[in-house]
Structure 1
């Protein structure tokens, strides 16, 4: 097992900063997700942990030992990539077995270890097949089994579900969650998909432009985003964000007036979640014509335009309204989040 410490870790290419002063301890057996948009530095951070990229500054420690100068093969870490990286000439059994052969592990143990790994990802019926005879989901499970068979100190997973269709993504995500529970191995998982982060992680690190924006449990990040970037990145739909002004405890902007807000005066960005507001018959804090209505199955999503922002609220699944009809939305002060208009930082605890 392994605790991974990243100390003031940076990666630069000339003047371009890929990762900037990344400082974090990943606990033994923790499932940590690095989350952010393309180009935010999450994969670069993971590749530095693996030894596939050289850190410009800072230290990487695994169980207290500095590993910056160790080759990837000497860090006792298994990786699962976005591309499956399977050997087309080998069947599933041999693909899973390959890391044991490379590391010269006692051949007498190979069959038992391969079968145990295959069983964990439900591949026993496919061990004789070549990769070309497998579906995308099955190939990804071979890649997972190949990582598991080594029994490493840590797993590094780089967007392993991004090549799968929506249905396979859900089932494979559940499998990874179950494997994490069974294996109890430190795991660093990279994704741009906030649903994967919310469902898999013990802790989430939200990154933008190489900088950590917030670290916390999925619940903490969802309920109390540290800034407008996190608020806009986490959630489906993302948190509604409206620019306006607070005077004497009342937030105002076009078609919106929300009273009983404390902790700020002057220009702010106000946020609230679509599921926390309600469509009401009259007297809501927002009154505006409907911009769109979408049927989601379990709810109806109503959107209106407030200033330059598109604001969404979830209504009952049977609710119906036409575009351009006026709608009233209740936004109680207790569901609102306030952010500094200039910096985007959260205002208040």
Structure 2
């Protein structure tokens, strides 16, 4: 049983708050991703779970045991770091085997467990090599195999793909996804890359400045961001966010007018919509503005326009033809739009939730 529970977890250094009142239940066999920009507290949270950082306040439970005072070696957790941490004087086989020696696992089990772990990450042809003779992707797979061979209750992975090039990140990401499906071990994965989070996670925890912004499945977070921070962080490109005013059910700002919202809402708001949910329009649309840039993506074309002082992206067909500076129109269906409070950044969901008038 590898359920992990974090209760009122905080980490402070004097007046600096690294993690603030983190509460979460992580289910057995769940793949949870901690996502956010550098300095948001995600790695600090993981290090507290591992026992590498002391807890200022709160409790960490692994199964039915509170582990705040346990040494890292007694928590039965394997970690995979951004730096591979391999022993250069040892072969791949001995690097993978090393945790078994440290934990005094009977020697007659070593070969079987090392070979099984190596096979999972496709390293059986490289067991006699030293780390210096491996590529970056192969070294990361050695680090994964070394974590797997322990057969721990949980894996903690701290940005394990950040040192790899784009092609290797894609293939190694697929390997990690398949490993989790095979091993069914609780996994906490730290990254600042929202594509990794969306493709790997059962649930994502979005963090900023030590505070949890939203917890949900990748689909929930993508489709229903809790605030403008999450909306602007998730997605490639991120959600378009346009400041403006709403009155009698109509949002207006420079070069944009969208009708059909709750008529009881009034005041300053931020309108959000995804590039793929809008469409270029030959007639009149909700947006009319000159083209700022055109990017051919291969399967589509990304059009950028400046709206209310913000760059807004619209994804359109790959055969779309226009020039920078041309005036174009885009359609934004009201049902795909999101409204956020301009002061707090929070998502507006309740009828009449916003009543402040524009100043």
Question: Does the Cα contact within 8 Å between 2:82 and 2:159 map onto a contact in 1?
Answer: yes
Where 2:160 maps in the other structure, the secondary structure is: coil
Task: Please state whether the residue corresponding to 1:160 is helix, strand or coil.
Answer: coil
Q: Is the 8 A contact 1:242 1:271 kept in 2?
A: yes
Q: Kindly state the Cα deviation for residue 264 of structure 1 after the two structures are TM-superposed.
A: 2.4
**Residue in 1 aligned with 2:354?**
none
Aligned-partner SS, 1:105: coil
Give the alignment's TM-score, normalised by structure 1: 0.99
Contact 1:156 1:188 in 2 (8 A): yes
CA distance in 2, matches of 1:297, 1:43: 36
Give the aligned partner of residue 341 of structure 2. Answer: 340
Q: Counterparts of 2:235 and 2:209 in 1: how far apart (Å)?
A: 20
Q: Quote the residue 1:254 is aligned against.
A: 254
2:79 matched to which residue of 1?
A: 79
Q: Which segments of 5 or more consecutive residues in structure 1 lack a partner in the other structure?
A: none
Does the residue aligned with 2:167 lie in a helix, a strand or coil?
helix
- 1:269 — aligned with what? 270
1:226 is aligned to 226
The answer as to whether partners of 2:250 and 2:257 remain within 8 angstroms in 1 is: yes
Q: In the alignment, does 2:323 pair up with 1:322?
A: yes
CA distance in 2, matches of 1:296, 1:7: 44
CA distance in 2, matches of 1:187, 1:328: 46
How many aligned residue pairs are there? Answer: 349
After TM superposition, the structure 1 = structure 2 runs for residues 1-349 of structure 1, keeping only pairs within 5 Å, are 1-262=1-262, 264-348=265-349
Separation in structure 2 between the aligned mates of residue 127 and residue 238 of structure 1, nearest angstrom:
42
1:78 positional shift: 0.1
Structure 2: which 5+ runs fail to align?
351-359
**Structure 2: how far apart are the matches of 1:320 and 1:99?**
59
C-alpha displacement of 1:261: 1.0
Query: Is residue 244–residue 271 contact of structure 2 (8 Å, CA) maintained in 1?
Result: yes
> Is the CA contact 1:246–1:252 (under 8 Å) kept in the aligned structure 2?
yes
CA RMSD of superposed structures (Å):
0.7
Distance 2:292 2:166 in 1: 28
User: Which shifted more, 314-323 or 285-294?
Assistant: 314-323
Q: Say if 1:117 and 1:148, in contact at 8 Å, map to a contact too.
A: yes
Inter-partner Cα distance in structure 2 for 1:91 and 1:265: 67
Distance across 2 between alignment mates of 1:222 and 1:264:
24
